[in-house]
A and B are shown apart, each in its own frame.
Chain A
Amino acid sequence: MANKILAILEQREGLLKRSAFEAVTMAKQLSAELNLEAEVVVVGNEVSNINDIGNYGIDKVIHLKSTELENYSSSGYRDAVADYAKETDADYLLFANTALGKDLAPRLAVALNAGCLIDCVKLDSSSGELIATRPVYAGKALIDVKCNSTKKVITIRPNVFKAEETGSSSSTDVKVIEINSPNLKCKVVDFKKSEGKLDVAEADIIVSGGRGLKGPENFHLIEDLANALGAAVGASRAVVDAGWRPHGEQVGQTGKTVSPSLYVACAISGAIQHLAGMSSAKYIVAINKDKDAPIFNIADYGIAGDVFEILPALTEEIKKVKQE
C-alpha cells in the first residue's frame, strides 16, 4: 500500500484559511509525484467551509473534532494529530508556515521522530526523493535540504504556492473522529484582534513607510494609499525603533519576511536587513527622493521624487482606476 501524506489544515473561528488550500494543492502534487495517498486533517469544532477541500483535489478529509479544540491548543492539537499520524503510519505531514503551523509542526516532528523542512519555497521530488529549498538569513541566501528520517514534517511559505481548484472532484468525504477530553495543558483562552487591519504576513499588497516620512503624523499618507489598494501597512525597522509604528508592522530581518504580489516602498532607502525581508515580492515599487537609494536596485518601477507630493497623487489615481 502506498504511504501517506497528510495535509494538516488551519482553521480559525471555524473557517479554513487561504494558506490551508495552498497546502491541499501542494499535498495533492506531492502525492502524485511520490506515489502517496493524500489525506487532509482538520482539527477544530465546526468548520463551515470544510466541504470546499474536495475542490482542490483531495477528497478524503479527517476532521479531529472537539468543542474544546475550537481554539488552538498546542498540546491538544499535537496529541490529536500525532495519534492519527501514528495510527495511519503517515510518512509526510504538510503544514502552511503560519503562526499556527510554525508552532505546531516541530512538536509533531518530535512526536514522530521526523526531520523538519521549514518555510519551504520550492519542493522538488524529480530525483525520487524530496528536496526542499528554503530561505535563510531572511532570504539573503537559500538552502537545499532533505530529510534523512523516514518521517518528514514540512511547512510551506504562504503566498508562494497557488491553491488550485481542480474542477473535477468536488465531493468531499469528511470522516469525523471525536476527540474526547483533549490535552489542554497549554491552550488559547482569548484572542485580541488588531484594530480591523490587514496583517503584513497575510496581505497580497503591502504599502510600507520609512524614515523619509519625517514623523508618525505623516503615516496617514501610507494608510490612505493602503486603503485605496486594499493593502496592509508595513514599516521599516527605523520607524518601528523610533516608536512611530507598532513592531507587528515591521518588515525585514528582525520583522516579518513577506512575499506579496505587490510591495510599495515609500521613503525607504533599502537597508540590507529590510531588503532581505521583502525582495521576494513579485512586484516592487519604490518611491524615494534619493535616486541612488539601494531600494531602486531591486524595484521593478520607481519614482525618484518626494513622497509628500507623489503619494497623494498616487492614492487619487488608484481610487480613480478602482472606480472604473
Chain B
Amino acid sequence: MKIAVCVSHVPDTATRIKLGKDEKTIDPDGVTYVINPYDEYAIEEALKTKEKIGNDSEVIIISLGTDSSKESIRKALAMGADGGILLKDETERDSFGVAKALADEIKLQGCEIVFCGKQSVDYDNNIIGQLISELLGYSCITVVVDLKIDGSKITAEREIEGGREVVECELPAVITTQKGLNEPRYASLKGIMAAKKKTIEEKPAAEAEHLTELIKMHLPAPKNPGRILGTDSSAVPELVRLLREEAKVL
C-alpha cells in the first residue's frame, strides 16, 4: 500500500514577520524555513503505519513549492520515508490550487492513505486535508490525536472543543494530524546518509484555478504597552479595580 504525506516548508514559529515589498507576502530576508511542525506528526504516523502493515508498503513525501522545499522533503526522507516528490511552483497559490495539485499527484501515485499536518503555520487555513479528500472522494478525519487502522477500517480520535470525538471511516482516507498524536522521531545518522542518496522527483505542479485572491497583507496595529501596577501583591486591589471599572471584564 502506498502512503502519502503532504509536507510544507514554512517560516519557523520564532520568526518576526516583516512585510515584503509587494505587500502581499512576507519579507523572506533573514527568515529560517523549517518543515511545518504539524507535518512532523504526519510523517511519524505514516512511518508507524508502514511499520505496522508491513514491508510492501511505501511512504511517499509530496510537497508543493520552490527548490527550497527540498530541505523539508530531505528531512522526511532522513526520518525514514521511501520517496519524495517536489511539485515545482514559483507562484503564490490559494489553498484550492495547492490541494488540487497535491490531489492530482496522490491519485497518480495511487496512495490509499494520506497524512497531512492539520494546518500549516503560515496561512493557518486548516483546510488542505479536507479539500484533498473531497477532490479525491476519500474519507477524511481532521485534527487527529489518536489513530487505529485495522484492515480497511479507521478509528480516530479528533480534538474538538471540550473533548475528543471518536470517528470511524473506511480507507481510502486523508488524516490530518495534531500535536499529541505521536512523538516524531529524530533522523538517525544512518537515515541522514541514506536520505542523501535518495532522489527527489521533480515535476511542475498541475495548473489550477484560483478561487480566492489575496489583496493585501498588513501587520496588526501595535498595542500600546500598558501599566505596571507594582511589584508585589499590594498591587492586587488596584488590578482588580481596573479590571472591573476600566476594562469591565469582571
**Partner-B contacts on A (CB < 8 A):** 71-72, 74-75, 78, 98-100, 102-103, 105-107, 109-111, 113-119, 131, 135-149, 185-194, 197-199, 201-202, 205, 229, 246-248, 250, 252-255, 257, 261-262, 271-273, 276, 279-280, 282-285, 291, 296-306, 309-310, 312-314, 317-318, 321-322
Contact = CB atoms under 8 A, between A and B. Distances in A.
B168 A116 contact: no
Contacts of B242: 301
Contacts of B225: 296-299
A246 B24 CA distance: 36
Interface residues of B, number: 80
A322 to B, nearest CB: 8
B126 A145 contact: no
Contact of A310 (B95, B139, B233): B233
A261 B247 CA distance: 9
A303 B243 contact: no
Given A144-B218, A305-B233, A282 B249 contact: yes
A191 B160 CA distance: 10
14 contacts: A72-B165, A99-B161, A107-B130, A136-B122, A137-B121, A138-B13, A148-B210, A191-B163, A253-B121, A296-B228, A301-B243, A302-B229, A310-B232, A313-B236
A242 to B, nearest CB: 14
B141 A186 contact: yes
A186 B235 contact: no
A187 to B, nearest CB: 6
Contacts of A253: 13, 121
Contact of B127 (A105, A305, A306): A105
Contacts of B231: 291, 303-305
A303 B220 CA distance: 25
Contacts of A71: 165
B25 to A, nearest CB: 10
A116 B239 contact: no
B143 A99 contact: yes
Given A254-B37, A297-B223, A116 B212 contact: yes
Contact of B124 (A72, A135, A285, A304): A135
Counting chain B CB atoms within 10 Å of each CB, the highest count among A149, A186, A306 belongs to A186
Contacts of A296: 225-226, 228
B95 A116 contact: yes
B164 A115 contact: no
B213 interface: yes
A321 B250 contact: yes
Contact of A192 (B142, B157, B211): B157
